[in-house]
Structure 1
Protein backbone atom coordinates (compact mmCIF):
# COMPACT_ATOMS: atom_id res chain seq x y z
CA UNK A 1 0.00 0.00 0.00
CA UNK A 2 1.36 3.43 -0.96
CA UNK A 3 1.75 5.93 1.87
CA UNK A 4 -1.13 8.42 1.86
CA UNK A 5 -0.97 10.29 5.16
CA UNK A 6 1.58 12.48 6.89
CA UNK A 7 4.35 13.96 4.75
CA UNK A 8 5.23 12.18 1.53
CA UNK A 9 6.13 12.89 -2.10
CA UNK A 10 3.77 12.45 -5.02
CA UNK A 11 4.70 12.58 -8.71
CA UNK A 12 2.02 14.86 -10.15
CA UNK A 13 4.39 16.63 -12.60
CA UNK A 14 7.37 14.30 -12.68
CA UNK A 15 9.24 12.19 -10.18
CA UNK A 16 8.45 13.36 -6.63
CA UNK A 17 7.33 16.77 -7.88
CA UNK A 18 5.27 17.60 -4.78
CA UNK A 19 5.75 17.10 -1.08
CA UNK A 20 2.36 17.00 0.63
CA UNK A 21 1.20 16.74 4.22
CA UNK A 22 -2.06 14.82 4.59
CA UNK A 23 -3.73 14.56 8.04
CA UNK A 24 -4.67 11.07 9.17
CA UNK A 25 -8.18 10.17 8.08
CA UNK A 26 -8.41 12.74 5.26
CA UNK A 27 -10.19 11.10 2.34
CA UNK A 28 -9.84 13.98 -0.12
CA UNK A 29 -7.09 15.56 -2.21
CA UNK A 30 -7.16 19.04 -3.73
CA UNK A 31 -5.10 20.39 -6.63
CA UNK A 32 -5.26 24.14 -7.25
CA UNK A 33 -3.19 26.83 -9.03
CA UNK A 34 -2.94 28.90 -5.84
CA UNK A 35 -4.61 29.47 -2.49
CA UNK A 36 -5.89 26.51 -0.52
CA UNK A 37 -4.90 23.09 -1.77
CA UNK A 38 -2.98 19.95 -0.92
CA UNK A 39 -0.82 20.50 -4.03
CA UNK A 40 -0.31 23.55 -6.25
CA UNK A 41 -0.23 23.07 -10.03
CA UNK A 42 -0.62 25.82 -12.64
CA UNK A 43 -3.98 25.65 -14.40
CA UNK A 44 -2.54 24.73 -17.82
CA UNK A 45 0.03 22.20 -16.57
CA UNK A 46 -0.71 18.52 -17.38
CA UNK A 47 -1.12 16.24 -14.38
CA UNK A 48 0.00 12.65 -14.05
CA UNK A 49 -3.24 11.30 -12.57
CA UNK A 50 -1.74 7.82 -12.44
CA UNK A 51 0.36 9.07 -9.51
CA UNK A 52 -2.61 8.03 -7.34
CA UNK A 53 -2.61 4.44 -8.62
CA UNK A 54 -2.13 1.94 -5.83
CA UNK A 55 -3.00 4.35 -3.04
CA UNK A 56 -5.54 2.87 -0.65
CA UNK A 57 -7.17 3.56 2.67
CA UNK A 58 -6.19 1.22 5.54
CA UNK A 59 -9.46 -0.70 5.29
CA UNK A 60 -9.01 -1.16 1.54
CA UNK A 61 -10.43 0.86 -1.32
CA UNK A 62 -9.02 3.72 -3.36
CA UNK A 63 -7.51 6.86 -1.88
CA UNK A 64 -8.37 9.65 -2.37
CA UNK A 65 -12.10 9.05 -2.43
CA UNK A 66 -12.82 12.71 -3.21
CA UNK A 67 -10.97 15.04 -5.58
CA UNK A 68 -11.09 18.82 -5.85
CA UNK A 69 -9.39 20.18 -8.94
CA UNK A 70 -9.10 23.72 -10.31
CA UNK A 71 -7.35 23.66 -13.68
CA UNK A 72 -7.56 22.69 -17.33
CA UNK A 73 -6.17 19.16 -17.54
CA UNK A 74 -9.05 16.88 -18.51
CA UNK A 75 -6.82 13.79 -18.38
CA UNK A 76 -8.74 12.56 -15.36
CA UNK A 77 -11.53 11.57 -17.77
CA UNK A 78 -9.44 8.83 -19.39
CA UNK A 79 -7.75 7.88 -16.10
CA UNK A 80 -11.11 7.31 -14.43
CA UNK A 81 -12.02 4.70 -17.02
CA UNK A 82 -9.70 2.34 -15.10
CA UNK A 83 -9.97 3.79 -11.59
CA UNK A 84 -13.25 4.42 -9.78
CA UNK A 85 -13.74 7.86 -8.20
CA UNK A 86 -16.40 8.45 -5.59
CA UNK A 87 -16.57 12.23 -6.04
CA UNK A 88 -14.81 14.69 -8.36
CA UNK A 89 -15.23 18.48 -8.14
CA UNK A 90 -13.84 20.39 -11.12
CA UNK A 91 -13.54 24.18 -11.20
CA UNK A 92 -13.07 25.01 -14.88
CA UNK A 93 -10.50 27.60 -15.92
CA UNK A 94 -11.47 27.72 -19.62
CA UNK A 95 -14.26 26.57 -21.97
CA UNK A 96 -14.28 22.79 -22.31
CA UNK A 97 -15.94 19.99 -24.30
CA UNK A 98 -15.56 16.69 -22.49
CA UNK A 99 -16.66 13.08 -22.97
CA UNK A 100 -17.09 11.33 -19.61
CA UNK A 101 -19.31 8.57 -20.99
CA UNK A 102 -16.83 5.84 -19.96
CA UNK A 103 -15.66 7.44 -16.73
CA UNK A 104 -16.25 5.72 -13.39
CA UNK A 105 -17.12 8.87 -11.44
CA UNK A 106 -20.01 8.34 -9.05
CA UNK A 107 -20.61 11.99 -8.20
CA UNK A 108 -19.49 14.80 -10.50
CA UNK A 109 -19.50 18.50 -9.62
CA UNK A 110 -18.75 21.15 -12.25
CA UNK A 111 -18.13 24.82 -11.43
CA UNK A 112 -18.86 26.76 -14.63
CA UNK A 113 -19.28 30.24 -13.21
CA UNK A 114 -17.06 31.98 -15.79
CA UNK A 115 -16.62 29.31 -18.45
CA UNK A 116 -18.75 27.04 -20.62
CA UNK A 117 -18.81 23.26 -20.75
CA UNK A 118 -20.29 20.74 -23.14
CA UNK A 119 -20.33 17.37 -21.39
CA UNK A 120 -21.40 13.81 -22.06
CA UNK A 121 -21.99 11.66 -18.97
CA UNK A 122 -22.05 7.89 -18.71
CA UNK A 123 -23.97 5.24 -16.82
CA UNK A 124 -21.69 5.29 -13.77
CA UNK A 125 -22.38 8.94 -12.91
CA UNK A 126 -25.42 8.83 -10.65
CA UNK A 127 -25.36 12.38 -9.33
CA UNK A 128 -24.25 15.61 -11.00
CA UNK A 129 -23.95 19.09 -9.53
CA UNK A 130 -23.68 22.20 -11.69
CA UNK A 131 -22.52 25.54 -10.30
CA UNK A 132 -22.64 28.80 -12.25
CA UNK A 133 -24.86 30.31 -14.91
CA UNK A 134 -27.43 28.19 -16.71
CA UNK A 135 -26.30 29.25 -20.19
CA UNK A 136 -22.83 27.85 -19.50
CA UNK A 137 -24.03 24.22 -19.44
CA UNK A 138 -24.58 21.99 -22.45
CA UNK A 139 -25.38 18.38 -21.57
CA UNK A 140 -25.29 16.08 -24.59
CA UNK A 141 -25.99 12.80 -22.83
CA UNK A 142 -26.61 11.61 -19.28
CA UNK A 143 -27.76 8.02 -19.67
CA UNK A 144 -27.40 6.86 -16.05
CA UNK A 145 -28.03 10.13 -14.24
CA UNK A 146 -30.90 10.14 -11.73
CA UNK A 147 -30.02 12.98 -9.35
CA UNK A 148 -29.16 16.55 -10.42
CA UNK A 149 -28.41 19.71 -8.48
CA UNK A 150 -28.16 23.22 -9.92
CA UNK A 151 -26.66 26.11 -7.98
CA UNK A 152 -27.27 29.17 -10.12
CA UNK A 153 -25.39 32.42 -9.69
CA UNK A 154 -27.68 34.67 -11.65
CA UNK A 155 -27.47 38.44 -11.24
CA UNK A 156 -31.14 39.23 -11.60
CA UNK A 157 -32.14 42.83 -11.17
CA UNK A 158 -35.12 43.82 -9.08
CA UNK A 159 -38.31 43.39 -11.07
CA UNK A 160 -36.71 41.03 -13.60
CA UNK A 161 -38.71 38.29 -15.30
CA UNK A 162 -38.75 34.95 -13.43
CA UNK A 163 -35.74 32.80 -14.25
CA UNK A 164 -36.49 29.60 -16.17
CA UNK A 165 -34.37 26.50 -16.57
CA UNK A 166 -33.21 25.99 -20.15
CA UNK A 167 -34.41 22.82 -21.85
CA UNK A 168 -32.07 19.95 -20.95
CA UNK A 169 -33.31 17.13 -23.17
CA UNK A 170 -30.58 14.76 -21.92
CA UNK A 171 -31.93 15.09 -18.37
CA UNK A 172 -35.50 14.06 -19.17
CA UNK A 173 -35.14 10.83 -17.18
CA UNK A 174 -33.84 12.26 -13.91
CA UNK A 175 -35.80 11.37 -10.77
CA UNK A 176 -34.60 14.06 -8.37
CA UNK A 177 -33.57 17.69 -8.81
CA UNK A 178 -32.42 20.45 -6.46
CA UNK A 179 -32.44 24.13 -7.39
CA UNK A 180 -30.40 26.64 -5.42
CA UNK A 181 -30.53 30.31 -6.36
CA UNK A 182 -29.55 33.59 -4.65
CA UNK A 183 -32.00 34.68 -1.97
CA UNK A 184 -32.15 38.22 -3.40
CA UNK A 185 -32.04 37.14 -7.02
CA UNK A 186 -34.82 36.94 -9.58
CA UNK A 187 -37.74 34.57 -8.85
CA UNK A 188 -37.69 31.03 -10.24
CA UNK A 189 -40.38 29.82 -12.62
CA UNK A 190 -41.23 26.26 -11.53
CA UNK A 191 -43.03 25.60 -14.82
CA UNK A 192 -39.63 24.90 -16.39
CA UNK A 193 -39.45 21.78 -14.20
CA UNK A 194 -42.23 20.15 -16.22
CA UNK A 195 -39.62 18.98 -18.75
CA UNK A 196 -38.53 16.35 -16.20
CA UNK A 197 -41.45 13.94 -16.39
CA UNK A 198 -39.77 11.21 -14.30
CA UNK A 199 -39.36 13.28 -11.14
CA UNK A 200 -40.48 11.38 -8.07
CA UNK A 201 -42.38 12.91 -5.21
CA UNK A 202 -40.48 12.59 -1.95
CA UNK A 203 -42.37 10.68 0.69
CA UNK A 204 -42.52 12.06 4.20
CA UNK A 205 -40.98 9.84 6.88
CA UNK A 206 -43.35 11.17 9.49
CA UNK A 207 -45.76 8.68 10.93
CA UNK A 208 -49.31 9.35 9.83
CA UNK A 209 -51.67 9.40 12.79
CA UNK A 210 -54.86 7.42 12.41
CA UNK A 211 -58.13 9.01 13.58
CA UNK A 212 -59.34 7.74 16.91
CA UNK A 213 -62.23 5.28 16.83
CA UNK A 214 -65.51 6.77 18.06
Structure 2
Protein backbone atom coordinates (compact mmCIF):
# COMPACT_ATOMS: atom_id res chain seq x y z
CA UNK A 1 0.00 0.00 0.00
CA UNK A 2 2.85 2.40 0.83
CA UNK A 3 4.36 1.82 -2.62
CA UNK A 4 1.00 2.55 -4.27
CA UNK A 5 0.69 5.80 -2.33
CA UNK A 6 4.19 6.87 -3.34
CA UNK A 7 3.48 6.07 -6.99
CA UNK A 8 0.25 8.07 -6.84
CA UNK A 9 2.04 11.09 -5.37
CA UNK A 10 4.79 10.81 -8.00
CA UNK A 11 2.20 10.62 -10.78
CA UNK A 12 0.37 13.64 -9.36
CA UNK A 13 3.61 15.61 -9.26
CA UNK A 14 4.45 14.66 -12.86
CA UNK A 15 0.99 15.66 -14.06
CA UNK A 16 1.18 18.98 -12.21
CA UNK A 17 4.62 19.67 -13.69
CA UNK A 18 3.49 18.87 -17.25
CA UNK A 19 0.35 21.01 -17.00
CA UNK A 20 1.97 23.97 -15.25
CA UNK A 21 3.43 25.48 -18.45
CA UNK A 22 0.25 25.39 -20.60
CA UNK A 23 -1.86 26.66 -17.69
CA UNK A 24 0.57 29.54 -17.13
CA UNK A 25 0.52 30.32 -20.86
CA UNK A 26 -3.30 30.25 -20.88
CA UNK A 27 -3.41 32.68 -17.95
CA UNK A 28 -0.97 35.01 -19.69
CA UNK A 29 -2.97 34.90 -22.94
CA UNK A 30 -6.22 35.69 -21.11
CA UNK A 31 -4.58 38.63 -19.35
CA UNK A 32 -3.32 39.93 -22.70
CA UNK A 33 -6.76 39.50 -24.25
CA UNK A 34 -8.33 41.33 -21.29
CA UNK A 35 -5.95 44.27 -21.71
CA UNK A 36 -6.58 44.45 -25.45
CA UNK A 37 -10.34 44.16 -25.00
CA UNK A 38 -10.32 47.13 -22.60
CA UNK A 39 -9.20 49.32 -25.48
CA UNK A 40 -12.33 48.51 -27.50
CA UNK A 41 -14.89 48.30 -24.72
CA UNK A 42 -18.49 49.27 -25.53
CA UNK A 43 -21.76 48.88 -23.65
CA UNK A 44 -22.55 45.81 -25.78
CA UNK A 45 -19.52 43.94 -24.42
CA UNK A 46 -20.83 43.20 -20.90
CA UNK A 47 -21.41 39.46 -21.46
CA UNK A 48 -18.07 39.10 -23.20
CA UNK A 49 -16.22 40.75 -20.32
CA UNK A 50 -18.09 38.70 -17.73
CA UNK A 51 -17.17 35.41 -19.42
CA UNK A 52 -13.59 36.57 -19.97
CA UNK A 53 -13.20 37.55 -16.31
CA UNK A 54 -14.59 34.16 -15.20
CA UNK A 55 -12.13 32.36 -17.48
CA UNK A 56 -9.29 34.47 -16.11
CA UNK A 57 -10.30 33.71 -12.50
CA UNK A 58 -10.45 29.97 -13.27
CA UNK A 59 -7.04 30.00 -14.95
CA UNK A 60 -5.49 31.85 -12.01
CA UNK A 61 -7.05 29.35 -9.61
CA UNK A 62 -5.59 26.46 -11.63
CA UNK A 63 -2.18 28.13 -11.54
CA UNK A 64 -2.43 28.40 -7.75
CA UNK A 65 -3.38 24.72 -7.46
CA UNK A 66 -0.45 23.53 -9.59
CA UNK A 67 1.97 25.81 -7.72
CA UNK A 68 0.78 24.38 -4.40
CA UNK A 69 0.95 20.76 -5.64
CA UNK A 70 4.51 21.20 -6.87
CA UNK A 71 5.49 22.93 -3.63
CA UNK A 72 4.06 20.08 -1.53
CA UNK A 73 5.89 17.51 -3.66
CA UNK A 74 9.16 19.40 -3.23
CA UNK A 75 8.67 19.52 0.54
CA UNK A 76 7.78 15.82 0.78
CA UNK A 77 10.91 14.91 -1.18
CA UNK A 78 13.03 16.43 1.60
CA UNK A 79 14.82 18.73 -0.83
CA UNK A 80 14.11 21.77 1.34
CA UNK A 81 16.21 20.36 4.20
CA UNK A 82 19.26 21.72 2.42
CA UNK A 83 17.92 25.19 3.31
CA UNK A 84 17.61 24.47 7.04
CA UNK A 85 19.18 27.05 9.32
CA UNK A 86 19.15 27.76 13.04
CA UNK A 87 15.80 29.43 13.79
CA UNK A 88 13.81 30.47 16.84
CA UNK A 89 10.22 29.20 16.98
CA UNK A 90 9.36 32.08 19.30
CA UNK A 91 10.20 34.50 16.49
CA UNK A 92 7.96 32.49 14.14
CA UNK A 93 5.12 32.93 16.62
CA UNK A 94 5.83 36.67 16.95
CA UNK A 95 5.87 37.15 13.18
CA UNK A 96 2.58 35.33 12.59
CA UNK A 97 0.94 37.07 15.53
CA UNK A 98 1.88 40.45 14.12
CA UNK A 99 0.28 39.51 10.80
CA UNK A 100 -2.96 37.99 12.11
CA UNK A 101 -3.73 39.70 15.43
CA UNK A 102 -5.69 42.52 13.80
CA UNK A 103 -7.25 40.14 11.26
CA UNK A 104 -8.63 38.02 14.12
CA UNK A 105 -10.02 41.12 15.84
CA UNK A 106 -11.71 42.21 12.62
CA UNK A 107 -13.31 38.75 12.44
CA UNK A 108 -14.46 39.23 16.05
CA UNK A 109 -12.25 36.44 17.33
CA UNK A 110 -9.55 36.46 19.99
CA UNK A 111 -5.98 35.37 19.34
CA UNK A 112 -3.94 34.15 22.33
CA UNK A 113 -0.18 33.62 22.33
CA UNK A 114 1.37 31.00 24.61
CA UNK A 115 5.16 31.10 24.89
CA UNK A 116 7.94 31.91 27.32
CA UNK A 117 10.50 34.66 26.89
CA UNK A 118 13.27 32.14 26.26
CA UNK A 119 14.08 31.23 22.61
CA UNK A 120 13.09 27.82 21.21
CA UNK A 121 15.89 26.95 18.79
CA UNK A 122 15.62 24.29 16.08
CA UNK A 123 17.07 23.56 12.66
CA UNK A 124 14.36 24.38 10.15
CA UNK A 125 12.96 26.37 7.25
CA UNK A 126 11.60 29.70 8.49
CA UNK A 127 9.55 30.45 5.36
CA UNK A 128 7.80 27.08 5.38
CA UNK A 129 7.03 27.15 9.10
CA UNK A 130 5.47 30.61 8.79
CA UNK A 131 3.37 29.40 5.86
CA UNK A 132 2.33 26.28 7.78
CA UNK A 133 1.14 28.26 10.80
CA UNK A 134 -0.52 30.87 8.59
CA UNK A 135 -2.49 28.14 6.78
CA UNK A 136 -3.78 26.76 10.08
CA UNK A 137 -4.75 30.18 11.41
CA UNK A 138 -6.51 31.08 8.17
CA UNK A 139 -8.49 27.83 8.42
CA UNK A 140 -9.56 28.81 11.93
CA UNK A 141 -10.54 32.31 10.78
CA UNK A 142 -12.48 30.88 7.85
CA UNK A 143 -14.43 28.13 9.61
CA UNK A 144 -14.79 29.13 13.26
CA UNK A 145 -17.84 31.15 14.38
CA UNK A 146 -17.69 34.68 15.72
CA UNK A 147 -16.34 34.85 19.27
CA UNK A 148 -13.99 31.87 18.84
CA UNK A 149 -10.56 31.71 20.43
CA UNK A 150 -7.41 30.92 18.43
CA UNK A 151 -4.28 29.91 20.36
CA UNK A 152 -0.78 30.04 18.90
CA UNK A 153 2.17 28.87 20.92
CA UNK A 154 5.56 27.21 21.07
CA UNK A 155 7.81 25.77 23.72
CA UNK A 156 10.34 23.15 24.70
CA UNK A 157 9.57 20.02 26.72
CA UNK A 158 12.55 19.88 29.04
CA UNK A 159 12.15 16.18 29.86
CA UNK A 160 12.64 14.93 26.30
CA UNK A 161 14.13 18.07 24.75
CA UNK A 162 11.45 18.19 22.03
CA UNK A 163 10.39 21.58 20.67
CA UNK A 164 6.73 22.13 19.81
CA UNK A 165 4.73 24.60 17.73
CA UNK A 166 0.95 24.57 18.05
CA UNK A 167 -2.18 26.19 16.64
CA UNK A 168 -5.50 25.44 18.35
CA UNK A 169 -9.03 26.81 18.34
CA UNK A 170 -12.32 26.16 20.12
CA UNK A 171 -14.39 26.01 16.93
CA UNK A 172 -16.63 23.11 15.82
CA UNK A 173 -13.69 20.92 14.74
CA UNK A 174 -13.79 18.09 12.22
CA UNK A 175 -16.06 15.05 12.54
CA UNK A 176 -14.23 11.80 13.30
CA UNK A 177 -15.03 10.11 9.98
CA UNK A 178 -13.41 12.99 8.09
CA UNK A 179 -10.20 13.25 10.14
CA UNK A 180 -8.31 10.61 8.18
CA UNK A 181 -9.00 12.38 4.88
CA UNK A 182 -8.49 16.07 5.60
CA UNK A 183 -4.78 15.83 4.77
CA UNK A 184 -5.46 14.40 1.31
CA UNK A 185 -4.67 16.75 -1.55
CA UNK A 186 -7.69 18.66 -2.89
CA UNK A 187 -10.01 17.00 -0.34
CA UNK A 188 -12.60 19.26 1.25
CA UNK A 189 -14.83 18.34 4.18
CA UNK A 190 -17.79 20.35 2.91
CA UNK A 191 -18.00 19.91 -0.87
CA UNK A 192 -20.61 22.66 -1.10
CA UNK A 193 -18.29 25.40 0.20
CA UNK A 194 -17.38 28.14 -2.24
CA UNK A 195 -14.98 30.10 -0.04
CA UNK A 196 -12.16 30.02 -2.58
CA UNK A 197 -10.00 27.48 -0.73
CA UNK A 198 -7.91 25.06 -2.76
CA UNK A 199 -8.17 22.04 -0.47
CA UNK A 200 -4.37 21.96 -0.14
CA UNK A 201 -3.68 23.96 3.04
CA UNK A 202 -3.67 20.99 5.41
CA UNK A 203 -1.69 18.86 2.94
CA UNK A 204 1.01 21.51 2.92
CA UNK A 205 0.87 21.87 6.72
CA UNK A 206 1.37 18.13 7.12
CA UNK A 207 4.24 18.10 4.60
CA UNK A 208 6.02 20.90 6.48
CA UNK A 209 5.55 19.08 9.78
CA UNK A 210 7.00 15.90 8.29
CA UNK A 211 9.96 17.80 6.85
CA UNK A 212 10.76 18.97 10.38
CA UNK A 213 10.25 15.44 11.83
CA UNK A 214 6.98 16.54 13.38
TM-score by length of 1: 0.24
The structure with more helix, counted as a fraction of residues: 2
The structure with more strand, counted as a fraction of residues: 1
TM-score by length of 2: 0.24
Q: Which is bigger in relative contact order (C-alpha 8 A, separation at least 6)?
A: 2
